[in-house]
């Protein structure tokens, strides 16, 4: 890949990676990852634990050096220009990485000084951030004594204190209740609206569905990437929902069929993924001895979880 090509791409893409690979000894944490993230979008990494999400983010922030491959982030070639990049990106780590023994204000003051804000800028920015992230009352509270949701809001405030063009969020909502998660995503869309590009990793399906675009990762390999809607529309499987009495037993028999990718119970229903090349999935399933004629079988709209399962060949939930 020529340098001119990279420069061209950087005009449209906040992140442009080609064949990005990182090995830890024998293990390949990220292998041959191609990635294009458009500016001012929210891009998601969806994958189970150990799928290489964190490593990929660390490679893109310059925290780790790639074993091979090309990365261009905001026009900076990594790892050569990682120092130049640091002022333009924000990073919210998976684990809370601010100081537990400093108060909210002290933490933010520390970060703002590190990023070189003048005292006047700092004062204005801090009160702005505290009110946006509903932390005004917690200003004098020690960060370590706050709830998961408050910590997460503080971490986001600290990550955007210098108004980065590109924001990395590594499983930002794993310790947060659904209500807080909703509000958190509202903040992300606000930031995106103001021109920030956001890359977020998650293992929650509902969260992944909010992203403009999505990459599904498994064992360091990108299995699919597109918008959530396109992923669901182009899925390589059909979803049949079965309502019956003895779902556990039906599941165990159906899973043995070569045409069935997976079967998972959702309450009173069994969700069966059948390969796309089967023309009459309902008919195929009804022929099975374990299905009673009275059982109800319907083709339903696929969910993101179905996409994930059909892409990765994993059964069940994450």
List of residues contacting another protein (CB under 8 A): 58, 61-65, 79, 82-83, 86-87, 89, 91, 93, 95-102, 106, 109-111, 113-116, 142, 158
Gap between the Cα atoms of 284 and 292, Å rounded:
13
> Least separation, in Å, of the C-beta of 17 and another protein?
17
> Least separation, in Å, of the C-beta of 191 and another protein?
18
Alpha-carbon dihedral sign for residues 193, 199, 200, 206: positive
- Asked if residue 196 lies in contact with residue 222, where contact means CB atoms within 8 angstroms, the answer is no
Q: Which is nearer to another protein, 88 or 219 (CB)?
A: 88
Q: Which residues of 29-45 are buried (b: 16+ CB within 10 A; e: fewer)?
A: bbbebebbbebebbbbb
Q: Which is nearer to another protein, 120 or 296 (CB)?
A: 120
Collapse the DSSP code of 229 into the 3-class scheme (helix H, G, I; strand E, B; otherwise coil) and give the result.
helix
> Least separation, in Å, of the C-beta of 102 and another protein?
6
> Least separation, in Å, of the C-beta of 132 and another protein?
20
Neighbours of 126 (CB within 10 A): 21
Element (DSSP H or E) covering residue 248: helix 247-254
Gap between the Cα atoms of 30 and 73, Å rounded:
17
> 260, 205, 236: which is closest to 311 by C-alpha?
236
Q: Which is nearer to another protein, 96 or 204 (CB)?
A: 96
Q: Which is nearer to another protein, 103 or 262 (CB)?
A: 103
> Least separation, in Å, of the C-beta of 201 and another protein?
14
Q: Which is nearer to another protein, 60 or 311 (CB)?
A: 60
* Strands 166-170 and 296-300, bridge-based pairing: unpaired
Q: State both tokens at 132.
A: 């946006």
Q: State both tokens at 229.
A: 């809607």
Helices 148-159 & 178-193, crossing angle to 10 degrees?
10
CA distance readout (Å), 262 to 212, 250, 253, 277, 310:
27, 12, 11, 15, 8
Q: Which is nearer to another protein, 45 or 308 (CB)?
A: 45
Q: Which is nearer to another protein, 174 or 259 (CB)?
A: 174
Q: Which is nearer to another protein, 101 or 128 (CB)?
A: 101
> Least separation, in Å, of the C-beta of 109 and another protein?
8
> Least separation, in Å, of the C-beta of 231 and another protein?
30
- Asked if residue 239 lies in contact with residue 297, where contact means CB atoms within 8 angstroms, the answer is no
> Least separation, in Å, of the C-beta of 65 and another protein?
6
């Amino acid at each position: 890949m020529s340098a001119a090509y990279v420069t061209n791409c950087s005009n449209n893409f906040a992140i442009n990676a080609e064949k990005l690979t990182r090995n830890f000894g024998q293990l390949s944490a990220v292998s041959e990852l191609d990635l294009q993230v458009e500016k001012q979008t929210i891009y998601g990494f969806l994958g189970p634990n150990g799928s290489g999400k964190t490593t990929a983010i660390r490679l893109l922030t310059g925290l780790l050096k790639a074993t091979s491959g090309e990365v261009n982030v905001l026009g900076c070639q990594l790892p050569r220009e990682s120092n130049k990049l640091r002022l333009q990106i924000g990073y919210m780590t998976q684990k809370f990485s601010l100081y537990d023994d400093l108060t909210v204000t002290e933490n933010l003051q520390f970060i703002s000084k590190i990023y070189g804000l003048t005292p006047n800028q700092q004062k204005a920015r801090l009160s702005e951030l505290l009110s946006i992230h509903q932390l005004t009352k917690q200003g004098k509270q020690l960060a370590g004594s706050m709830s998961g949701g408050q910590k997460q809001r503080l971490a986001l405030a600290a990550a955007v204190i210098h108004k980065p063009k590109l924001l990395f969020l590594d499983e930002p909502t794993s310790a947060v209740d659904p209500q807080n998660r909703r509000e958190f995503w509202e903040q992300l869309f606000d930031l995106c609206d103001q021109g920030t590009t956001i890359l977020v990793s998650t293992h929650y399906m509902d969260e992944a569905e909010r992203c403009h675009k999505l990459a599904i990762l498994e064992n360091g390999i990108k299995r699919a990437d597109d918008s959530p809607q396109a992923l669901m529309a182009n899925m390589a499987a059909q979803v049949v929902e079965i309502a019956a009495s003895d779902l556990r037993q039906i599941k165990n028999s159906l899973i043995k069929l070569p045409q069935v990718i997976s079967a998972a119970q959702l309450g009173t229903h069994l969700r069966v993924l059948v390969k796309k090349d089967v023309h009459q999935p309902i008919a195929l399933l009804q022929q099975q001895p374990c299905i009673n004629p009275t059982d109800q079988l319907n083709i339903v709209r696929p969910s993101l979880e179905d996409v994930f399962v059909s892409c990765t060949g994993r059964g069940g939930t994450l």
